[in-house]
Amino acid sequence: MFKKLSQKIQVSILAICSLATSVTVILIIIFLFSEGISFLGMKPTEEGYVLAVNTKNNLSSISPELCKKVFDQEVDNWSQLGEKDMPIELVNSDQIATFYSEEAIGSEMEYLDTCYNDYVSKHEGAFAVMPKNYVTSKFKGRIVEVQENSIASLVTGREWFPTAKPIAQFGILPLLMGTLIVSLGAILIALPFGLACAIYMSEIAKKGRRKIMKPLVELLAGIPSVVYGFFGLIVIVPLIQKLFHLDVGETALAGSIILGIMALPTIITISEDALRNVPNAMREASLAMGATKWQTIYKVVIPYAISGITTAAVLGIGRAIGETMAVLMVTGNAANVTFNYLKPVRTIPATIAAELGEAPSGGIHFKALFALGCILFLITMSINLYVNFVSKRRGVK
């Protein structure tokens, strides 16, 4: 009787634990996506400001990215926005004071609204940024809508500048590129090294040597990532700076090297496992036909283990993509769209870690970081799904 009861309690404790875990995971995902998705549909304009143009102008809406270009005067003719060929006359709170006298504006800027109104109605090429409350029934300009954040603007935007005023820039292309080139570089470094190591350990090393190497490799996996970051900052970064005569050594290359080292244990242990799982009968069959040891390794053993090796590489990339701290410390954190490994870059996780503290909670910047988190999650999840798919296919074979 008592035995039965205690057994039931044990079973229900186990069930509750596993249920709690699943629920937690699902809650985290829901939280991440609800915050991230609410970013879409928000407007990246500074609170309380609007854009206005002359009524003859047909422009009805403008993308945040183009808007920024207008402000930076990279775009200075209306024809570039699909309108008539005339110069864009930009007005904002700084410039309005140069166009009108102090009297016209008023000692306490009480007539500023009239000045904006006057300027916009008289200049066909006007492009004004002004406080929302200046727009009254008397206003003779037209309001231009800033387009909402969308997946397209997020993914194709080439500028990440979430604190830009009056229009923040949320283009994740540079961050995505940063993440991709750092991870790609990492895998290009780690795969040959890791595979060589795995081949040595599984095919060549005597038992004794393997017994020393295996725990060392596992130790590598246990080092905290800040320590890798430190090592990168003190050793790799100055080395790169000297070697390539750069102004700063904090580059994508430094990130790739550090991430490569961090991905090594994953790659080595998984591909070594795959190699050791190759039946000895395969090696014997090859050797018995007069193949050399080396021919046997690359014509029989590696092809046989190839799906395991692919898994190792993909999981290694997965590790690299999600890594935050070490990368934050060595890549320089400049949001560049570049393929140049000798330039600073900034990755998605590093951006989240660096900016979350300064983004006001609930604001658009905050939500943008969640959107980044969603994208990172989608990337790593597809990697996991791919690995599952590959290993399942191997299981069927």
Partner 1 sequence: MIQIKNVNFYYKDFHALTDINMQIPDKAVTAFIGPSGCGKSTLLRLINRMNDLIDGTRLTGNILVEGQDIYDKKVEVEELRKKVGMVFQKPNPFPKTIFENVAYGLRVQGMKNESEIKDRVEDAIKKAALWSEVERILNNNATNLSGGQQQRLCIARCLAVEPHVILMDEPASALDPISTAKIEELVLDLKSKYTIVIVTHNMQQALRISDNTAFFYLGELVEYNNTRDIFHNPAQEKTKNYVTGQFG
Distance between CA atoms of 185 and 336, rounded to whole angstroms?
Answer: 16
Please report where in the chains the tokens 């890549």 appear, as a residue.
Answer: 331
Residue 34 CB, nearest approach to partner 1 (Å): 47
Distance between CA atoms of 212 and 257, rounded to whole angstroms?
Answer: 24
**Residue with smaller CB distance to partner 1, 278 or 328:** 278
Residue 204 CB, nearest approach to partner 1 (Å): 12
x/- mask, partner 1, residues 41-80, rule CB under 8 A, reads ----------------------------------------
DSSP 75: -
Query: Beta-carbon neighbour count of residue 234 at 10 Å?
Result: 11
DSSP 40: T
- Smallest Cα–Cα separation from 304: which of 343, 276, 332, 267? 276
User: Could you give the C-alpha distances from 307 to 32, 166, 295, 343, in angstroms and in order?
Assistant: 33, 51, 19, 34
- Is residue 52 classed as helix, strand or coil in its secondary structure? strand
**Residue with smaller CB distance to partner 1, 5 or 289:** 289
Residues 94-123 within binding reach of partner 1 (CB under 8 A)? none
**Residue with smaller CB distance to partner 1, 239 or 390:** 390
Residue 275 CB, nearest approach to partner 1 (Å): 15
Distance between CA atoms of 10 and 263, rounded to whole angstroms?
Answer: 39
Distance between CA atoms of 178 and 321, rounded to whole angstroms?
Answer: 10
- Smallest Cα–Cα separation from 331: which of 209, 137, 185, 221? 185
**Residue with smaller CB distance to partner 1, 292 or 388:** 292
Distance between CA atoms of 97 and 103, rounded to whole angstroms?
Answer: 11
**Residue with smaller CB distance to partner 1, 24 or 292:** 292
- Smallest Cα–Cα separation from 252: which of 310, 189, 206, 302? 189
**Residue with smaller CB distance to partner 1, 90 or 291:** 291
**Residue with smaller CB distance to partner 1, 225 or 307:** 307
Length of the chain: 397
Residue 393 CB, nearest approach to partner 1 (Å): 13
- Smallest Cα–Cα separation from 312: which of 229, 228, 193, 146? 193
User: Could you give the C-alpha distances from 147 to 72, 370, 373, in angstroms and in order?
Assistant: 18, 20, 23
Residues 226-285 within binding reach of partner 1 (CB under 8 A)? 279, 281-285
Rule CB under 8 A: is residue 395 a binding residue for partner 1?
no
Distance between CA atoms of 71 and 76, rounded to whole angstroms?
Answer: 9
The residue within the footprint of partner 1, chosen from 3, 4, 207, 245 (CB under 8 A), is 207
Residue 293 CB, nearest approach to partner 1 (Å): 9
Residue 11 CB, nearest approach to partner 1 (Å): 43
Residues 281-320 within binding reach of partner 1 (CB under 8 A)? 281-292, 295, 299-300, 303-304
**Residue with smaller CB distance to partner 1, 97 or 306:** 306
Residue 266 CB, nearest approach to partner 1 (Å): 25
Residue 278 CB, nearest approach to partner 1 (Å): 10
Handedness of CA 199, 205, 211, 215 (dihedral sign): negative
**Residue with smaller CB distance to partner 1, 145 or 284:** 284
DSSP 251: S
Residues in the interface with partner 1 (CB under 8 A) total 21
Residue 279 CB, nearest approach to partner 1 (Å): 7
Binding site for partner 1 (CB under 8 A): 206-207, 279, 281-292, 295, 299-300, 303-304, 397
